[in-house]
């Protein structure tokens, strides 16, 4: 099993669209279909492209929530002040501030606080035309935690390891925080999707530094490269200076929004030029994974 | 007035809209709370005058005393503190700085140590906008701490615009919290709609009024307008898909720098927000 993660730093560069295309290409060209995991649990979208049918869903608990029994609180003022996150007011716990650290349990008096499970997310398993697919949805406003992504990836790995030569495709989230870190640890290859833009370049530089900590082999994809060729050259220069190979450049093509609306991977309906670029990216990624 | 600019999905144009809005009005403080990927300074050209570190207090193990604190390690809900081979290991990136271990463990074993998770840069941009930019240190995970640190600099005597991170989790919640209005930026695709729905749920938790801006509008997908009407969210502006805007934004130009007629439309948008707050 090989694990390939698609990330970007900046949002909206086309991670999900490209992941969908890679899934479709792997399904066509490899001997067995890929296993796909959407690691963007905050704003998941890949399920909209892959379709298919839901096989199962399960609740996932995140950091616990403190519940205070006021009759057992020995020193209400001290109890209220104990919360480092200001989540306790009038001995009521605000679930939107509580991170489940349990410090109040230590301070408020014996048995005054119970740390209860809170359903933080739902994990879904789907059978799609492109392979088995796992995704999750975090409840709005929940504290982020890598544990959910690790759990999702484990589900994918369990399916993928059973089949030799299988590919586990991971669609990452924007940014470079805990969820991104949980998405990329242990991957064999990271595809960095960027675009010609000053913001995208700044974010590329930051995510590249993050990847340096993890020693993961990296390839860059420049999406919409023809929107600004001079900025594309800046991206290429950055890649050259940092010895990051470019897996391919994809032209601006309205087919990506049309494909999102049609809820299909763009490569299936794209014209010759865009399809060839996507196939080139796929070939480069495979070569890099198996060399 | 305090206005947050969010929307759920990444790359829909939150920073383009928020910085353009900031340039169209006076007496502005702009808070860049998209601390994992802060880009507002590219649109607002500023020279930082001051930079403060964002630090959290993490435990430091005092190995030379030869003791360990099992209770502290067992207590830590984030596995930031563990006992291995009669020694303690600290993972500062995982620490939430709750201080529970300090309550349970003797100061002979653990002592507090400052750990940098990011920084906050402050300065004035070309248009006289007070800019406060949060930046998560690469490799760190305490996004929310950096956002909270940015927000302690909020100046209520100004018109405050907050550029929020993508996603609908705790970081976005902390960025929006305390705002009087949330401007939700989206794009006319099923992805934009999906994340806008999540954003609405998040904003509802805070109970503040909101309105939608559709970026890259035009095209065939009409679901954003339909859903917004059902959800009772007004569409306050539409920025059409336009090659010149796409190219300008990529180079850090705000809407009115790309096309001056936006200046007036942005002021109207600000006026609409003002009315909706009242």
The model's pLDDT over A209-235, given as tens digits with 9 standing for 90+, comes to: 999 999 999 999 999 999 999 999 999
Residues of chain A with CATH 3.40.50.300: 2-61+121-290
SS3 A71: helix
Question: Do B272 and B199 reside in the same domain of the chain?
Answer: yes
- CATH 3.30.70 residue spans of chain A: 65-117
- Please report whether residue B121 resides in a domain: no
pLDDT score at B264: 98
Contact B252 A44 (CB under 8 A): no
**pLDDT (tens digit per residue) in A25-43:** 999 999 999 999 999 999 9
**3-class DSSP state of A209:** helix
Distance CA A173, CA A49 (A): 16
Does the beta-carbon distance from A12 to B11 stay under 8 Å? yes
Cα–Cα distance between A41 and B168 in angstroms, integer?
A: 9
Beta bridge partners of B211: B183
For residues A62 and A148, the answer to whether their CB atoms sit within 8 Å is yes
Q: Give the per-residue pLDDT at A110.
A: 87
What value does the mean pLDDT of chain A take?
96
Give the pLDDT confidence score for residue B46 in this predicted structure: 86
- Taking an 8 Å cut-off on Cβ atoms, the answer to whether A257 and B9 are in contact is no
Q: Is the model's pLDDT at B55 over the cut of 90?
A: yes
Overall number of domains in chain B: 2
Question: What CATH number has the domain spanning A65-117?
Answer: 3.30.70
Which option is the CATH number for A2-61+121-290: 3.40.50.2030, 3.40.50.300, 3.30.1360.170, 3.40.50.1010? 3.40.50.300
Distance CA B194, CA B223 (A): 10
Last residue of a domain, one of B72, B95, B116: B116
Q: Please tell me what DSSP assigns to residue A203.
A: H
CATH number for the domain spanning B73: value is 3.30.70.20
Asked if B209 and B148 sit in the same domain, the reply is yes
C-alpha dihedral sign at A5, A142, B91, B75: negative
pLDDT in tens, B220-266: 899 999 999 999 999 999 999 999 999 999 999 999 999 999 999 99
Please report whether residue B50 resides in a domain.
no
- Note the Cα A34 to chain centre separation in Å: 17
Q: Which of B91, B116, B141 is the last residue of a domain?
A: B116
Rounded Cα gap, residues A169 and B191, in angstroms: 19
**What ipTM was predicted for this assembly?**
0.96
Q: Is residue B227 part of a domain?
A: yes
pTM for the whole structure: 0.97
Same domain, B94 and B226: no
Residue B65 has pLDDT above 80, yes or no: no
Residue B154 lies in a domain: yes
Closest alpha carbon within chain A to B249: A197
User: Contact A228/B205, CB-based, under 8 Å?
Assistant: no
Three-state DSSP class for B181?
A: strand
Locate the chain B residue with the closest alpha carbon to A138: B169
- B250 and A102 in contact by Cβ < 8 A? no
- Which residue of B7, B118, B146, B167 is the best one to mutate when testing the A interface, meaning the one whose CB has the most A CBs within 10 A? B167
Q: List the domain range (segments joined by +) for residue B110.
A: 55-116
Please calculate the CA angle B212-B127-B182 and round it to the nearest 5 degrees.
20
Task: Clarify whether residues B92 and B67 are in a common domain.
Answer: yes
Nearest one of A164, A5, A4, A43 to B202, comparing CA atoms: A43
| pLDDT at residue A207, as a whole number | 97
Q: Tell me which residue of B122, B112, B178, B183 sits closest to B153, measured CA to CA.
A: B122
Show which of residues 267-286 on chain A sit within 8 Å of chain B, judged by CB atoms.
none
Does the CB of A154 have a partner CB in chain B at under 8 Å?
Answer: no
> Which CATH number is B188's domain given?
3.40.50.300
> Is there a single domain that holds both residue B142 and residue B172?
yes
The model's confidence at residue B126, banded by pLDDT at 50, 70 and 90, is confident
What is the torsion angle, in degrees rounded to the nearest 10, for the CA atoms of residue B164, residue B166, residue B168 and residue B171? -50
């Amino acid at each position: 099993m090989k694990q390939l993660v698609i990330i970007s730093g900046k949002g909206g560069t086309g991670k999900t669209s490209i992941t969908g295309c890679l899934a479709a290409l792997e399904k066509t060209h490899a001997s067995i279909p890929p296993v796909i995991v959407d690691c963007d649990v905050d704003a998941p979208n890949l399920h909209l492209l892959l379709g298919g049918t839901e096989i199962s869903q399960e609740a996932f608990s995140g950091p616990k929530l403190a519940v205070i029994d006021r009759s057992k609180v020995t020193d209400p003022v001290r109890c209220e002040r104990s919360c480092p996150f200001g989540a306790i007011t009038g001995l009521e716990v605000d679930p939107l501030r509580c991170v489940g650290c349990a410090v109040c349990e230590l301070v408020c008096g014996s048995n005054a606080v119970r740390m209860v499970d809170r359903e933080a997310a739902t994990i879904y398993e789907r059978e799609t035309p492109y392979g088995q697919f796992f995704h999750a949805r975090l409840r709005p406003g929940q504290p982020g935690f890598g544990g959910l992504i690790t759990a999702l990836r484990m589900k994918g790995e369990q399916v993928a390891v059973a089949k030799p030569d299988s590919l586990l495709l991971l669609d990452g989230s924007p940014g470079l925080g805990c969820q991104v870190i949980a998405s990329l640890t242990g991957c064999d290859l990271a595809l960095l999707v960027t675009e010609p833009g000053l913001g995208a370049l700044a974010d590329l530089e930051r995510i590249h530094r993050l990847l340096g900590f993890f020693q993961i082999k990296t390839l860059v994809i420049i999406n919409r490269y023809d929107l600004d060729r001079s900025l594309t050259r800046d991206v290429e220069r950055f890649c050259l200076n940092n010895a990051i190979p470019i897996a391919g450049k994809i032209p601006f093509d309205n087919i990506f929004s049309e494909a999102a609306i049609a809820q299909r991977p763009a490569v299936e309906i794209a014209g010759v030029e865009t399809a060839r670029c996507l196939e080139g990216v796929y070939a480069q990624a495979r070569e890099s994974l198996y060399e | 007035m305090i206005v947050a600019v969010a929307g759920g999905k990444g790359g829909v144009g939150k920073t383009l809209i928020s910085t353009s809005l900031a340039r169209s009005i006076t007496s502005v403080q702009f808070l860049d709370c998209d601390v994992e990927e802060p880009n507002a300074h590219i649109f607002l050209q500023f020279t930082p005058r001051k930079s403060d570190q964002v630090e959290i207090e993490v435990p430091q193990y005092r190995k030379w005393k030869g003791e360990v604190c099992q209770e502290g390690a067992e207590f830590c809900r984030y596995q930031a503190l563990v006992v291995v081979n009669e020694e303690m290991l600290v993972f500062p990136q995982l620490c939430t700085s709750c201080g529970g271990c300090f309550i349970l463990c003797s100061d002979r074993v653990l002592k507090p140590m400052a750990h940098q998770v990011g920084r906050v840069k402050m300065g004035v941009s070309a248009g006289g906008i007070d800019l406060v930019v949060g930046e998560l240190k690469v490799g760190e995970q305490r996004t929310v701490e950096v956002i909270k640190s940015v927000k302690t600099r909020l100046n209520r005597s100004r018109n405050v615009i907050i550029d929020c991170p993508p996603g609908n989790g705790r970081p976005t919640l902390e960025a929006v919290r305390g705002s009087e209005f949330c401007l939700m930026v989206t794009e006319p695709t099923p992805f934009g709609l999906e994340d806008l729905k999540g954003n609405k749920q998040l904003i509802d938790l805070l109970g503040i009024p909101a309105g939608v801006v559709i970026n890259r509008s035009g095209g065939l997908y009409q679901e954003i307008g339909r859903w917004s009407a059902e959800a009772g969210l007004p569409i306050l502006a539409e920025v059409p898909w336009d090659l010149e805007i796409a190219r300008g934004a990529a180079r850090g130009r705000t809407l009115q720098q790309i096309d001056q007629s936006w200046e007036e439309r942005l002021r109207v948008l600000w006026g609409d927000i003002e009315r909706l707050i009242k």
